[in-house]
Amino acid sequence: MSIAPETTVHPALRVAVIGAGYWGPNLARNFAMSGDWELVAVCDMDAERAAALAHKTGEPAVVTSVDRLLRDHDIDAVAIATPARTHHAIAMQAIAAGKHVLVEKPLADNSIHGREMVRAARAAGTILMADHTYCYTPAVLKIRDLLASGELGEILYIDSVRINLGLVQPDVDVFWDLAPHDLSILDFILPGGLNPVGVSAQGADPLNSGKSCVGYLSLPLHNGALAHIHVNWLSPTKIRQMVIGGSRKTLVWDDLNPQQRLSIFDRGVDLDRQEMVRGDAAGRKGAAISYRLGDTWSPALSEFEPLGLMVSEYAASIRSRTPAPTDGESALRVLSVLEAASRSLANRGRDGRLVPTTSVLEAAQ
Amino acid sequence: MSIAPETTVHPALRVAVIGAGYWGPNLARNFAMSGDWELVAVCDMDAERAAALAHKTGEPAVVTSVDRLLRDHDIDAVAIATPARTHHAIAMQAIAAGKHVLVEKPLADNSIHGREMVRAARAAGTILMADHTYCYTPAVLKIRDLLASGELGEILYIDSVRINLGLVQPDVDVFWDLAPHDLSILDFILPGGLNPVGVSAQGADPLNSGKSCVGYLSLPLHNGALAHIHVNWLSPTKIRQMVIGGSRKTLVWDDLNPQQRLSIFDRGVDLDRQEMVRGDAAGRKGAAISYRLGDTWSPALSEFEPLGLMVSEYAASIRSRTPAPTDGESALRVLSVLEAASRSLANRGRDGRLVPTTSVLEAAQ
Amino acid sequence: MSIAPETTVHPALRVAVIGAGYWGPNLARNFAMSGDWELVAVCDMDAERAAALAHKTGEPAVVTSVDRLLRDHDIDAVAIATPARTHHAIAMQAIAAGKHVLVEKPLADNSIHGREMVRAARAAGTILMADHTYCYTPAVLKIRDLLASGELGEILYIDSVRINLGLVQPDVDVFWDLAPHDLSILDFILPGGLNPVGVSAQGADPLNSGKSCVGYLSLPLHNGALAHIHVNWLSPTKIRQMVIGGSRKTLVWDDLNPQQRLSIFDRGVDLDRQEMVRGDAAGRKGAAISYRLGDTWSPALSEFEPLGLMVSEYAASIRSRTPAPTDGESALRVLSVLEAASRSLANRGRDGRLVPTTSVLEAAQ
Amino acid sequence: MSIAPETTVHPALRVAVIGAGYWGPNLARNFAMSGDWELVAVCDMDAERAAALAHKTGEPAVVTSVDRLLRDHDIDAVAIATPARTHHAIAMQAIAAGKHVLVEKPLADNSIHGREMVRAARAAGTILMADHTYCYTPAVLKIRDLLASGELGEILYIDSVRINLGLVQPDVDVFWDLAPHDLSILDFILPGGLNPVGVSAQGADPLNSGKSCVGYLSLPLHNGALAHIHVNWLSPTKIRQMVIGGSRKTLVWDDLNPQQRLSIFDRGVDLDRQEMVRGDAAGRKGAAISYRLGDTWSPALSEFEPLGLMVSEYAASIRSRTPAPTDGESALRVLSVLEAASRSLANRGRDGRLVPTTSVLEAAQ
């Protein structure tokens, strides 16, 4: 997969945006500006809202039902920005009509629905893509490149913190509100995607709001590595930071520091991995330890609008019939981890037992 | 308990320091400088090391065995700075001889030993105190005062991060190396001490060193609050930060920022805690949410040597026959949490199940 | 003068924006949104540009000359956002027609023109106001309040740094490009306005671009205080910081730290100001020195759009016939300091002599 | 000159430290620890103080007068850590006796004395070196290397800030107290040393203490570059930062950030330096401007005690009969700039005229 947009002489693909609420306008605007796309229609049950959006994006057609959209308009693809619980029905209908589908996160309201969508798209030969916007930012693309190149060595641990004084959401807890960002990023940057061997969640609802407002998510990875995510709606300070510790180098991404968003530290602990016999009763695992204290490097990042790249990738994926960088299966992995986290939280009984682990792989089958 | 040193006309108490290795010299120096104490002897099996220390601290007697120390010298108290596995035997011997005992952390190598020490001291009527040095720093004392005064309101969550490129220790994992600091601080600042309703640990040994190098510790507290500790030997950046979220205000302690170590934010989320009936099928727990975005305040901290205050508190505790701020029971609570964390780690089986919870209270019985 | 917007039942004032280039749209948008104003016309020689702006701001009339604007439209006030060299002519024409005038910074291309504008407006009884936008930001308003209340005590020094990798401007040097911000802020926050007893500028043009790209401006104030401004187009890091040292407290404004934009330090040096006779040959000025190391406090700042407040203040000023907070005389003081800085730079001869001082007061007469 | 210490088989040089007050013990300790040196004597008029120092540094001889020291002891070199006003007399006496001389900063109390010392040492063939400690820190050595290698290109500007809540000194102003650090560093790192074409100082004494507490120093360099130093005793925050802007790269040294002391930014403004004829009346100097926004790099720095390196360099300089990196002439250049700064300040008359420039070169003749 090439992430870089290419100049093409292809005719523009025809797309409709479904949902003119909070996020739809962002998608519509980027489709309207893209040379890859022609924005053919805006669809929303609220005709006035749809018309207002159409007015700002070059006056595409205004449609008030998905049925009519699919029946009356010649489109190649749709972009769905409606509430999560409606994603499944709309996407299945569009796939059945042979359309390519882009879905705002989360892919669906549960993984059963998500899996149906993935299977249906595969069967129909259409592209199913998730709008994991963060994955198209300059910083995350650079991180992905660095991990793919082996610059960091093997991944040892990942620690992600996403906290601020946030809106306590009416319907979802802090895991479902904030962790999808971290999880979709992990899935995007980890070679092979996000495949934890377990999922363990710790949550707290100290305000008695009925849902976790503070959350910790532990995701043991293969080879002994561990990913950990801290999400928090109650923090007076805002932190958006991810540390990726590798056997060769360690990367720190501080998204709130525009002057040095990424830092790659050539520092770490080296262990000659060998058995050593020691003087005590039994031979024990020992090691010759050494430390590296090398330079730090902060790569320059280009600047562009992530959604602009995303719609461009959507077009490229359709034209080449290859999965998008954030395809349906990727979104399904994210969804499965969130569901496993919820199960982990629910299983914490009154006796104080905290965290039964649920395998994502099992959950996804 | 009053933490503030007071001027007294008491005759100096007589103390011996046992152990002249890494930490003993710090204790000896502070006893020697204190008006509350007379440093009578330095005791170490290595006579040369003991003599060198005595030379720098006013030439107290040099002794090479605890037996002789207790037999030949007129002392009120000892301070034990020997390896952890020897704490129990030395302390029990000193208590049996009627001496007050200060022990370097950890109190003992396991909680069974620790409990014996606590019980023996209680039975003998001597003071048993742990050298939890952090608890005598200006920042931690201020935090304790703020929590005691109710300034922060009810505790909602505590998030502590203590990471850096650290020495991979030969005998202990990252929990036993670093978390005692966080735990002893929590025990000190929380009104009522550290009494989690559970202990859950997540660790990773990605270097295959035979012990956890990255660790996360979740400690659900009463009333739905959650304390969480992140310790890490592999981080290229150094962080020493604790956030204490309260229902009224939130405190951030950044120990590496000498210009603003403590910040108290008058910001947060307020929830009117009431049941609300909503339009969906069943009445669900809802809430009227509001946000505060008030001032931030950073108190000035006085500057003094924590160990100087600690030896002064040791004297005050002995004179008043009241428990020290960091008494044996406090140290025992810290030890019990560490043991529970180790059990939590050990119970993570091959099937990926991560974290059975062990009650500290149960462990401590 | 009250800076707080008030709710009024006044009929809306009628305004036209002249200039639809870079800044005009911001003004037009804020007039259009304000309950105090009715945006009657947009005027630009480029009819298409004017029409495009009118289209976004509620379709006011489109006019292509100031003559026609003043002749054909019933307006109370104009806002001029044309190139600086045209400010004088347009403003004089508007004032002659009895209109109130808001002018984008700088007031005029030179202080002779600026003084004419001030005098003409005064003679005509119309309000002349400068768009010193920074003065209507929450941070600067708070600083002004703090200084007015005496919270900081007497001003001892002010150090302002405004540096970043900036566009080397074709027509103005770094002083004229960046320092107007600092100077207009100083004029706004200092009780009594900006009245330095001298102006000394140091500049460097190491790229041989024909104008200073690095600049330092020293402004001795009354009572021995000193204001200093550092402006720089060549810095790889961006800093926007102002320190205001007072005899009681010191304020630090870090405009790039949204989490703590203002900090007030209750720290400083106290001097008992008295003559002391010392042992050396002659009595010398001495002092008993003491230090305060008190708390730091960071006030919460409300959030609003500065231009919204500015147009509201413009209306209030017109209605009450009182000078605006950033009136023409304020803008003239800023202009005079900039001119004095240019003279200071020009007088740096070949012999290395650097900085003849030019009094602003003298320049302004 | 090679800064790196080398292993030698030379016999140790014999040295005496004169002055056992604040700084002398640091020198004595480092001579005592060095393989290059034998600390033969400690000399102080206060015999008790000298004896106490001798006791901690291996019991060298204790001497109470320079006369006796030079008469009775077989030494190669002295290190003078007495008050500045005594440097000249002691150094001249030692040079007359054929000794090498290391002098604590400042070299002398005025440049006439300083020049005599330089000339006397040159005539006697002995090494005269100044203890500019900062020049032997890992950060400054790295900066010197980077400038020597041309990594930054031509120097465009240097901006140094050294501010904190500092002791108001009884005898010297803030320039003489703090700026010697910046000036000696500039002299050390600039290829060719510090040779400004002018010196202009702005100072403020807002506390009426009789001396400047806030100071700004402008040092125009050759080729249009400008060095600027900001020193301040009244700042509530502590900053130690130097920015060195080059035509290729820019270096930022933040001495209070141990995690990233040096940053080298591959960012800047490029100007094709050519005359361009423009459309206005006269041809004006123009330029084609472009910007680089490249990576940032932070080199790892080794850790060692600067004074240890300095005494080693002193020995190397003596053995090779080559000037030390911070030789007498270097110290004289620093002294001359400080004197020029004082003259610049003094010439600021009542009429507000600020800054007559005094050429350092002229002053040094």
pLDDT of amino acid A362: 37
What class is the C13-132+306-326 domain?
A: alpha beta
The values of phi and psi at residue C351, to 5°, are -80, 5
Contacts (Cβ under 8 Å, ≥6 apart) of A239:
A161, A162, A163, A164, A256
Quick one: chain C helix, strand, coil %, rounded to 5?
A: 35, 30, 35
Q: What pLDDT, on a 0 to 100 scale, did the predictor assign at position B349?
A: 28
Residues of chain C with CATH 3.30.360.10: 135-304+335-346
Residues C236, D218: C-beta atoms closer than 8 Å: no
In this predicted structure, the answer to whether residue C81 has a pLDDT above a threshold of 70 is: yes
Q: What is the DSSP letter of A190?
A: S
Q: What residues of chain A lie within 8 A of the CB of D263, using their CB?
A: 298
Mean pLDDT lowest among A8-22, B117-131, C96-110, D239-253: A8-22
The yes/no answer on whether domain C135-304+335-346 falls in CATH 3.40.50.300 is no
Structure confidence by residue, pLDDT tens digits, B227-246: 999 999 999 999 999 999 99
Using an 8 Å Cβ cutoff, are D28 and D7 in contact?
A: no
- In this prediction, residues B95-105 reach a mean pLDDT of 97
Q: What percent of chain D has pLDDT over 90?
A: 76
Q: Do B295 and C297 touch (CB under 8 A)?
A: yes
Between A344 and B10, the more confident residue is: A344
Which residue(s) pair with B200 in the sheet?
B218
Report pLDDT for A129.
98
| Residue A254 predicted with pLDDT over 50 | yes
Minimal CA separation from B314 to chain A, in Å = 37
Helix (H, G, I), strand (E, B) or coil at C350: coil
Range in A329-333, C261-265, C341-345, D357-361 with the lowest mean pLDDT? D357-361
Separation of alpha carbons D312 and D310, rounded Å: 5
pLDDT, average across residues D309-338: 96
C294 chain-B contacts, CB cut-off 8 A: 300
What pLDDT band is residue C9 in, cutting at 50, 70 and 90?
A: low
Looking at domain A13-133+306-327, what is its CATH homologous superfamily? NAD(P)-binding Rossmann-like Domain (3.40.50.720)
Tokens of B22: 């890494």
**What is the fold of A135-303+335-346?**
Dihydrodipicolinate Reductase; domain 2 (3.30.360)
Numbered ranges of CATH 3.40.50.720 in chain C? 13-132+306-326
pLDDT at position D267 is 86
Name residues whose C-beta falls within 8 Å of residue B177's C-beta, 6 or more positions apart in sequence.
B166, B169, B231, B233
What confidence tier does A168 reach under pLDDT thresholds 50, 70, 90? confident
Looking at residue B92, what is its pLDDT? 98
pTM, rounded to two decimals? 0.89
Residue range C244-263: mean pLDDT, rounded: 95
Burial class (CB in 10 A: 0-12, 13-18, 19+), B138: middle
A344 pLDDT higher than 70: yes
Is B298's CB within 8 Å of C299's CB? no
Number of C-beta neighbours around residue A161 at 10 A: 20
Question: C267 falls in which pLDDT band (50, 70, 90)?
Answer: confident
pLDDT the model gives residue D235: 93
CATH 3.40.50.720 boundaries in chain B: 13-133+306-326
The chains in contact with chain A, meaning 3 or more Cβ pairs closer than 8 Å, are B, C, D
Q: pLDDT band at B320, cuts 50/70/90? A: very high
Residues 139-178 of A with CB under 8 A from B: 154-157, 159, 165, 167-168, 170
pLDDT at C4 over 60: no
Where do the CATH 3.30.360.10 domains begin and end in chain D? 135-305+335-346
* pLDDT score of A194: 94
Burial of D125 (0-12, 13-18, 19+ CB in 10 A): exposed
D286's CB contacts (< 8 A; 6+ apart) are C170, C210, D275, D276, D278
Q: Look at residue B293 in the predicted model and tell me its pLDDT.
A: 86
CB contact under 8 A, A156 and B214: yes
Between chains, do B206 and A213 touch, taking CB under 8 Å as contact? no
**Closest CB to D223 among C206, C236, C267:** C206
Report d(CA B304, CA B142) in Å as an integer.
13
Of C207, C293, C354, the CB nearest to D156: C207
Q: Which residue of A has its CA nearest to C165?
A: A259
Q: Is A224 on the interface with B (CB under 8 A)?
A: yes
**Mean local confidence (pLDDT), D252-281:** 74
As a residue count, chain B comes to 365
Does A192 or C182 have the greater pLDDT score? C182
Residue range D321-349: mean pLDDT, rounded: 90
Is pLDDT above 60 for B267? yes
Q: What secondary structure does DSSP assign to A37-106, as a single string? A: EEEEEEE-SSHHHHHHHHHHTT--EEES-HHHHHHH---SEEEE-S-HHHHHHHHHHHHHTT-EEEEESS
Are residues A293 and D299, on separate chains, in Cβ contact within 8 Å?
Answer: no
**Ranges assigned E (strand) in chain C:** 13-18, 37-43, 61-63, 77-80, 100-104, 128-131, 155-165, 200-204, 214-220, 226-232, 234-246, 250-254, 262-273, 287-298
Q: How many CB pairs under 8 A join A and D?
A: 30
DSSP for A249-305, please give it.
-EEEEETT-TT-SEEEEEEEEEEEE--B--SSSS-B--EEEEEEEEEEEE-------
Structural class in CATH, domain D135-305+335-346: alpha beta
D269 neighbourhood in chain C, CB within 8 Å: 165, 168, 207, 213, 233-234
Measured in angstroms, the CA of B134 and the nearest CA of chain D are apart by 22
- Phi and psi at residue D134, to the nearest 5°: -55, -30
- Could you tell me the two tokens for D179? 């700026």
- Is the Cβ of C303 closer than 8 Å to some Cβ of chain A? no
Contact state of C226 with D206 under an 8 Å Cβ cutoff: yes
Task: Please count the residue pairs, one from chain B and one from chain D, whose beta carbons lie less than 8 angstroms apart.
Answer: 4
Every domain of chain A with CATH number 3.40.50.720 lies at 13-133+306-327
In the numeric block, the tokens 């700004």 are attached to: D216
**Which of A252, A286, A357 shows the shortest C-beta gap to B353?**
A357
Q: What is the largest CA-CA distance in chain D?
A: 82
Mean pLDDT of chain A: 88
Give A236→chain B minimum CA distance, Å.
Answer: 6
Three-state SS letters, chain B: CCCCCCCCCCCCEEEEEECCCCCHHHHHHHHHHCCCEEEEEEECCCHHHHHHHHHHCCCCEEECCHHHHHHHCCCCEEEECCCHHHHHHHHHHHHHCCCEEEEECCCCCCHHHHHHHHHHHHHHCCCEEEECHHHHCHHHHHHHHHHHCCCCCCEEEEEEEEEEECCCCCCCCHHHHHHHHHHHHHHHHCCCCCCCCCCEEEEECCCCCCCCCEEEEEEECHHHCEEEEEEECEEEEEEEEEEEEECCCEEEEECCCCCCCEEEEEEEEEEECCCECCCCCCCECCCEEEEEEEEEEECCCCCCCHHHHHHHHHHHHHHHCCCCCCEHHHHHHHHHHHHHHHHHHHCCCCCCCCECCCCHHHHCC
- A35 interface with D at CB cutoff 8 Å: no
* Cβ neighbours of B285 in A, within 8 Å: 208-210
A20 φ, ψ to 5°? -115, 30
Q: Can you read off the two tokens belonging to residue B136? A: 């005598």
Structure tokens at B212: 């956890």
Please say if the pLDDT value at position B109 is more than 70. Answer: yes
Contact between residue D138 and residue D303 where contact means Cβ atoms under 8 Å apart: yes
- Say if residue B305's pLDDT is above 80: yes
pLDDT > 90: percent of chain B:
76
pLDDT band, very low/low/confident/very high, at D288 (cuts 50, 70, 90):
low
pLDDT of residue D10: 81
3-state class of A215 per DSSP? Answer: strand
Which regions of chain A carry the CATH code 3.30.360.10?
135-303+335-346
Cα angle B317, B318, B319 (rounded to 5 degrees) comes to 95
Q: Tell me which of C240, C257, C259 to substitute to probe the interface with A (most A C-beta atoms closer than 10 Å).
A: C259
**What mean pLDDT is predicted for residues B183-208?**
94
**Does residue A206 belong to the interface with chain B, where contact is any CB pair within 8 Å?**
yes
| pLDDT surpasses 60 at B281 | no
Res C20 pLDDT > 90 = yes
Select the residue from D226, D267, D362 to test the C interface by mutation, using most C Cβ atoms within 10 A: D226
Residues 235-254 (D) with a CB less than 8 A from some CB of B: 237-238
Whether the per-residue pLDDT at A251 is higher than 90: the answer is yes
Where is average pLDDT lowest: A120-124, A168-172, A328-332, D239-243? A168-172
Residue C365 pLDDT > 90:
no
Confidence of residue D166 (pLDDT cuts 50, 70, 90): confident
Distance CA C134, CA A248 (A): 47
Q: How far is it, in rounded angstroms, from Cα A309 to Cα A265?
A: 29
Q: D221 pLDDT exceeds 60?
A: yes
Over 70: is that where the pLDDT of C5 sits?
Answer: no
The pLDDT > 70 percentage for chain B reads 87
Q: How high is the pLDDT of residue D348?
A: 62
Contact C41, C19 (CB under 8 A): no
Q: Is the Cβ–Cβ distance between D26 and D42 less than 8 Å?
A: no
Residue B348 has a pLDDT of 62
% helix / strand / coil in chain A, to the nearest 5?
35, 30, 35
Whether residue D65 has pLDDT greater than 60: yes
Distance from CA of C182 to the nearest CA of D (A): 18
Q: Which of A267, A293, A298 sits opposite D295 (nearest CB)?
A: A298
Amino acid at B155: I
Confidence of residue D61 (pLDDT cuts 50, 70, 90): very high
For chain C, which chains pass the contact test of at least 3 CB pairs under 8 Å? A, B, D
Contact C309, C3 (CB under 8 A): yes
Could you tell me which of C242, C298, C292, C297 has the C-alpha nearest to residue C267? C292
How far is C-alpha D332 from the chain's CA centre? 10
DSSP assigned state of C22 = S
Mean pLDDT, chain B, whole residue set: 88
For tokens 């306590």, name the residue. Answer: A168
- How far apart are alpha carbons A54 and A30 in whole angstroms? 13
Average model confidence (pLDDT) across chain C: 88
Q: What pLDDT, on the 0 to 100 scale, is given for residue B80?
A: 98
CATH number for the domain running over B13-133+306-326: 3.40.50.720
pLDDT of residue C6: 53
| Distance from chain centroid for Cα A271 | 33
- Poorest-confidence range of A165-174, C1-10, C347-356, D113-122? C347-356
